[in-house]
């Protein structure tokens, strides 16, 4: 009899990584709880859904799913280029912003590479940076905004190769004006690439949108069909940047990695501007409703340029975590920031009437429970 | 005025990678040619399409695409586990086999890591290995089969960490019997992981299917919904292996990376066994037809356990490339192996009647053109 088989070792880097999952999905929570949520307003999904034209196009494409998608994402890139006033060579389409962040980390990060982000910002970006051995330097939020001057200081001090910024930001929903972002870009140290995550930009006021300069090799802008276009489950997003940098993605990306139905759906979604306007209006109204529900409970909501609202529970993180727990026990799925002082808030995604009614009904009890 | 912006350097590893694309997709070829193909039988796609039940399920899921997919792929894994007689912990679902190969390379390969494969085997596997700096050792096919003894010798000699084997293999379509694969597995050097690509296994005779031992930490089996299930564009596949190794994928994978519609479609496809049987029968008939067309032109087709047939054009690679070119000029999309002596063949995917008729009509002219 042969000797028992031993596990084959992984790379030292991967062996040392924690088996952490950045987020536990709502389905997993529902399985653990043994019952479904009444309101799914925790993952900043767009409950108002995709364009009916996108749905129609996706259904029409379903019987053709035996074909691989177009490895060039040609038609979608052509339309995106037209809209953004850039060349198709300035755009790379990928498997969601998460997928693109993974590729970016692989392109830029090796063990010890310094990367700057805000303390409490998007965990999946950090997941990929540490996954490639990068050294994360985190800068605290200032007045619930990502601290532009602080990020620049840290990038200079640490010779950062990458700087992460979200505008509007997640998890607070605050945003900077175009000229503030432009000032940051102008002041970037010369070997720092700005990874500008604009997943929520369609929900923000126009003055939050920094001008686009696709000739600048130090900036990559990330946009997605997951939020305003209501297609989170489709896994399709894109980055805009200087052509040489964009072409580098071809060295490592899965060329046939984008789902064919997603390609077709995204293109159809772009053409339904009326639906996009409808979604944006619904989200704006839902933000008002959430703010009102908070106020009715004596809580203050932060101003938001995204499809969610950070509601300040008025005490510390332990208190907010108890409020969150109370909401989840009452079948309302919400999330909250992971670090102080942001974690005095819970983060509530824009919902339809029935979802926000469930939130409004559960919040007073959750607060009472938390105070007890 | 500020100094012109310089490109931000990538990692030395990625800077050194070629900007190569493993395959040019048929859509890209059509754009270059300026006209569509009549027969799309070059990418081993399943022209017989997905189960109508899968199409129905995907359409029903389309309006729900605003939700991220289940990060655990719970329902699909549960059903796959049941069918394979393993635990869900023995299965990882990913973004196609290409996506899983990328993850595997990231887990196992660092600069200089030795990896063994067959000369002319799946290029996208090689793309990921070299993309992480791995050192590929290639073993020639022997009698148009992957050379099991040669692969073992190379793995021992080079202390390979990974060995790639496809069964049935691509691009020749030949296959080994279960006992041959079992013998290879038993003889693996103790630090070598076998990456057993079974993308085409549903098309092969039952005796080609090696027994499954999910307790063996030295073997990962890769299966896909891209081929027999007709869902190449959905990007969904899975690997079966020892639980600890499978869990390691969680350290690096995009947890929300699988398309929600693909999850639903794959589960529905599994339940339609009649459609799977129909596809397998159609593919077997198409292989016979291709073999007959080859014979009518004085060419020999190799026996195939996959959904394609390698047709030996009877001379060298230059000749076969001219035949291929002649077919493409006559609007028949086919591909061929990249290295000698395999490249004496063209590779023709199973097609419907109209596609094989187009092939049958074009082949005599393509041969004449090549001989001229």
**Three-class DSSP labels, chain A:** CCCCCCCCCCCHHHHCCCCCCCCCCHHHHHHHHCCCCCEECCCCCCCCCCCHHHHHHHHHHHHHCCCCCCCCCHHHHHHHHHHHCCCHHHEEEECHHHHHHHHHHHHHCCCCCEEEEECCCCHHHHHHHHHCCCEEEEECCECCECCHHHHHHHHHHHCCCEEEEECCCCCCCCCCCHHHHHHHHHCCCCCCEEEEECCCHHHCCHHHCCCCCCCCCCEEEEEECCCCCCCHHHCCEEEECCHHHHHHHHHCCCCCCCCHHHHHHHHHHHHCHHHHHHHHHHHHHHHHHHHHHHHHCCCEECCCCCCEEEEECCCCHHHHHHHHHHHHHCCEECECCCCCCHHHEEEEECCCHHHHHHHHHHHHHHHHHHHC
Q: Residue written as tokens 């997640």?
A: A170
Q: Show residues of chain A in contact with B28, CB under 8 Å.
A: 70-72, 74
pLDDT number for residue A268: 98
Distance CA B123, CA A256 (A): 13
| Record: contact A25-B248, CB cut-off 8 A | no
Count, residues in chain A: 372
SS3 call for B117: strand
The answer, for B312 touching chain A at a CB cutoff of 8 Å, is no
* Whole-structure pTM value: 0.97
CATH 3.40.640.10 domain range(s) in chain B: 52-271
pLDDT band at B370 (very low <50, low <70, confident <90, very high): very high
Q: Best interface-test mutation with B: which of A261, A269, A278, A350 has the largest number of B CBs within 10 A?
A: A261
- For residue A81 the two structure tokens come to 């280029």
H or E element at residue B267: helix B260-271
User: Phi/psi at A128 (nearest 5 deg)?
Assistant: -75, -40
The answer, for B159 touching chain A at a CB cutoff of 8 Å, is no
The answer, for A35 touching chain B at a CB cutoff of 8 Å, is no
Q: Report whether A144 contacts A175 (CB < 8 A).
A: no
Q: Show residues of chain A in contact with B74, CB under 8 Å.
A: 27-28, 31
Distance CA B3, CA A189 (A): 12
Q: What is the 3-state secondary structure (H, E, C) of B191-202?
A: CCEEEEECCCHH
Compare CB distances from B5 to A7, A40, A216 and report the shortest one's residue: A216
pLDDT number for residue A80: 98
- Of the CA atoms within 13 Å of residue A323, those in its CB half-sphere come to 29
The answer, for A33 touching chain B at a CB cutoff of 8 Å, is no
- For residue B69 the two structure tokens come to 């997919």
| Record: contact A234-B65, CB cut-off 8 A | yes
Distance from CA of B205 to the nearest CA of A (A): 23
pLDDT number for residue B2: 53
pLDDT number for residue B3: 58
- For residue B46 the two structure tokens come to 């399943």
Q: Show residues of chain A in contact with B66, CB under 8 Å.
A: 45-50, 230-233
Residues linked to residue A164 through DSSP beta bridges, in sequence order? A195
| Record: contact B25-A72, CB cut-off 8 A | yes
Q: Show residues of chain B in contact with A103, CB under 8 Å.
A: none
- For residue B97 the two structure tokens come to 């086999």
Distance from CA of B161 to the nearest CA of A (A): 8
Locate the chain A residue with the closest alpha carbon to B52: A63
Which positions ≥6 away from A3 have C-beta within 8 Å?
Answer: none
SS3 call for B61: helix
ipTM score here? 0.97
Q: Residue written as tokens 């999952």?
A: A21
Q: Report whether B369 contacts B322 (CB < 8 A).
A: yes
| Record: contact B65-A58, CB cut-off 8 A | yes
Q: Which residues of chain A have pLDDT under 50?
A: 1
Options 1.10.10.60, 3.40.640.10, 3.40.920.10, 3.90.1150.10; CATH for B23-49+274-371 is 3.90.1150.10
Q: Show residues of chain A in contact with B69, CB under 8 Å.
A: 233, 235
Count Cβ atoms below 10 Å from residue B66 Cβ, excluding itself.
22
- For residue A232 the two structure tokens come to 């989170």
Compare CB distances from B254 to A7, A46, A95 and report the shortest one's residue: A95
| Record: contact B45-A25, CB cut-off 8 A | no
Compare CB distances from A217 to B7, B186, B190 and report the shortest one's residue: B7
Q: Report whether B181 contacts B259 (CB < 8 A).
A: no
Distance CA A300, CA A296 (A): 9
Residue from B312, B235, B333, B319 nearest B24 by CA: B333
Residue from B367, B275, B244 nearest B313 by CA: B367
Compare CB distances from A231 to B46, B59, B65 and report the shortest one's residue: B65
The answer, for B272 touching chain A at a CB cutoff of 8 Å, is no
Domain A52-271 has CATH 2.30.130.10: no
Locate the chain A residue with the closest alpha carbon to B187: A2
User: Phi/psi at B297 (nearest 5 deg)?
Assistant: -105, 15
pLDDT number for residue B20: 72
Q: Report whether B331 contacts B349 (CB < 8 A).
A: no
**A285-311 confidence digits (pLDDT tens):** 999 999 999 999 999 999 999 999 999
Compare CB distances from B252 to A14, A235, A248 and report the shortest one's residue: A14
pLDDT number for residue A3: 58
pLDDT number for residue B1: 41
Report DSSP state, residue B32. H
pLDDT number for residue A1: 42
Q: How many CB pairs under 8 A join A and B?
A: 285
Residue from A266, A259, A26 nearest B58 by CA: A259
Q: Residue written as tokens 């704006």?
A: A284
**B224-241 confidence digits (pLDDT tens):** 999 999 999 999 999 999
pLDDT at B27 over 90: yes
pLDDT at B154 over 60: yes
CATH 3.90.1150.10 domain range(s) in chain B: 23-49+274-371
Q: Show residues of chain A in contact with B25, CB under 8 Å.
A: 68, 70-72, 255-256
CA A215 to chain centre: 25
Long-range contacts of A295-304 (CB under 8 A, 24+ apart): A296/A360, A297/A363, A297/A364, A297/A367, A299/A367, A302/A144, A302/A172, A302/A173, A302/A174, A302/A345, A303/A173, A303/A174, A304/A168, A304/A172, A304/A173, A304/A174, A304/A203
Distances (CA, A) of B349 to A58, B40, B121, B308: 26, 8, 17, 4
Compare CB distances from A6 to B69, B72, B190 and report the shortest one's residue: B190
Distance CA B116, CA B161 (A): 8
The answer, for B189 touching chain A at a CB cutoff of 8 Å, is no
Distances (CA, A) of A8 to A14, A166, B163, B207, B253: 13, 39, 12, 28, 19
Distances (CA, A) of B360 to B329, B354, B357: 14, 10, 5
| Record: contact B70-A28, CB cut-off 8 A | yes
User: Phi/psi at A352 (nearest 5 deg)?
Assistant: -75, 175
pLDDT band at B48 (very low <50, low <70, confident <90, very high): very high
Exposed, middle or buried by CB within 10 Å (0-12, 13-18, 19+), for A364?
A: middle
Locate the chain A residue with the closest alpha carbon to B112: A11
Distance CA A19, CA B60 (A): 34
| Record: contact A231-B66, CB cut-off 8 A | yes
State the angle between helix axes of B260-271 and B52-61 in degrees (0 to 180), rounded to the nearest 10. Answer: 150
């Amino acid at each position: 009899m042969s000797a028992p088989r031993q596990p084959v070792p992984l790379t030292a880097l991967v062996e040392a990584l924690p088996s952490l999952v950045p987020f536990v999905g709502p389905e997993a929570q529902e399985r653990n709880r043994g019952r479904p949520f009444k309101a799914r307003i925790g993952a900043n999904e767009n409950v108002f859904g995709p364009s009916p034209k996108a749905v129609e196009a996706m259904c029409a494409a379903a019987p053709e799913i035996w074909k691989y998608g177009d490895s060039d994402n040609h038609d979608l890139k052509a339309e995106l280029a037209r809209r953004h006033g850039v060349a198709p060579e300035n755009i790379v389409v990928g498997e969601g912003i998460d997928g693109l962040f993974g590729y970016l980390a692989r392109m830029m990060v090796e063990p010890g590479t310094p990367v700057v982000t805000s303390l409490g910002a998007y965990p999946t970006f950090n997941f990929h940076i540490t996954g490639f051995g990068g050294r994360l330097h985190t800068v605290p939020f200032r007045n619930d905004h990502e601290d532009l001057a602080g990020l620049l200081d840290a990038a200079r001090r640490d010779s950062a190769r990458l700087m992460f910024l979200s505008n509007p930001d997640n998890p607070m929903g605050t945003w900077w004006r175009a000229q503030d972002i432009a000032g940051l870009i102008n002041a970037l140290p010369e070997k720092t690439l700005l990874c500008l995550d604009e997943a929520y930009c369609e929900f923000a006021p126009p003055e939050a949108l920094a001008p686009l300069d696709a000739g600048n090799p130090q900036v990559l802008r990330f946009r997605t069909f997951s939020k305003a276009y209501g297609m989170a489950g489709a896994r399709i997003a894109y980055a805009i940047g200087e052509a040489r940098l964009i072409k580098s993605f071809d060295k490592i990306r899965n060329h046939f990695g984008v789902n064919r139905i997603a390609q077709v759906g995204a293109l159809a979604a772009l053409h339904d501007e009326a639906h996009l306007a409808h979604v944006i209006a619904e989200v704006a109204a839902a933000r008002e409703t959430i703010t009102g529900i908070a106020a009715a409970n004596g809580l203050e909501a932060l101003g938001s340029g995204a499809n969610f609202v950070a509601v300040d529970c008025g005490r510390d993180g332990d208190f907010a975590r108890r409020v969150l727990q109370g909401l989840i026990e009452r079948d309302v799925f919400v999330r909250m920031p992971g670090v102080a002082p942001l974690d005095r808030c819970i983060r509530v995604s824009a919902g339809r009437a029935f979802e926000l009614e469930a939130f409004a009904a559960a919040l007073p009890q959750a607060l009472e429970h938390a105070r007890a």
